[in-house]
Amino acid sequence: MKLRSILFTVAAAFTLAGCSDRDAHSAEEKSDPTFLFWCFRKEIVSADYTIPEMNTPAEAAFLQNRLKTIPGYVESTYNLSSHTMTVSYKSSTVRKMNFEEAIALSGFAVNNRPAYPNTNKPAGAK
């Protein structure tokens, strides 16, 4: 009897643990929902990075090429006037901090985080 009540409690907890419904996510553009304990979440997500030292298209291209090597990277765009880069990635494969770390390791300060010293920036970068 005690085992039956424990199993019922566990089953109820899993049933009530839903985050949202799949229909809401299926309408999203580029949606590839991931299932985790009755919870559907968006697989492709985007994050913005502020990179004050990114001033030229060559520097932006250098960073994009570095980020492309990270598993889970999907695409990125940059805006030189606002010194920002938007990176889209697979949330089940990689985390936002991995891209921030890669940018800092490339010799650029990012999101109020200093660049790592002794890194090789592209030719002509300050």
- Interior/surface letters 36-64, b for 16+ CB within 10 angstroms, e for the rest: eeeebeebbeebebebeebeeeebbebbb
Does the residue 63 lie in any domain?
yes
Displacement of CA 91 from its chain's centroid (Å): 6
Q: Residues 76, 85: contact at Cβ < 8 Å?
A: yes
Would you state the pLDDT for residue 10?
A: 62
CATH number at residue 55: 3.30.70.100
Does the residue 54 lie in any domain?
yes
Does the residue 88 lie in any domain?
yes
Does the residue 69 lie in any domain?
yes
**Domain containing residue 58:** 43-105
Does the residue 20 lie in any domain?
no
Average pLDDT of each block of 10 consecutive residues along the chain (126 residues)?
69 56 46 59 91 96 96 97 97 94 95 84 64
Does the residue 55 lie in any domain?
yes
Would you state the pLDDT for residue 42?
A: 83
Q: How far apart are CA 33 and CA 105, in angstroms?
A: 31
Domain count for the chain, please give it.
1
Q: How far apart are CA 81 and CA 84, in angstroms?
A: 8
